Amino acid sequence: MGIIVNLDVMMAKRKKGLTELANEVDLTLANLSILKNNKAKAIRFTTLEAVCKALNCQPGDILEYVEDEEEPNG
């Protein structure tokens, strides 16, 4: 996938744990963990806004676009 979620990096920079952030943004630990481990297929803007507010950051600090590598033929 071309979008990388760097939530773990921002959490480390802000010294916030998973439980603390989950409580602040009103998400379950399981759902926040999915997002943190780059397993999420989508994120709601309201969730992104809450995460950015809790971590005092911009969406670009959390989300990164990386071009997919093409697999060689044969």
Specify the amino acid at residue 2. Answer: G
Name the class of domain 3-65.
mainly alpha
Domain boundaries, the chain: 3-65
Q: Residue 62: exposed, middle, or buried by beta-carbon count in 10 A (0-12, 13-18, 19+)?
A: buried
Predicted model pTM: 0.85
Q: What is the pLDDT of residues 5-37, one digit of tens each?
A: 999 999 999 999 999 999 999 999 999 999 999
Q: What is the pLDDT of residues 45-55, one digit of tens each?
A: 999 999 999 99
Rounded to whole angstroms, how far apart are CA atoms 61 and 5? 9
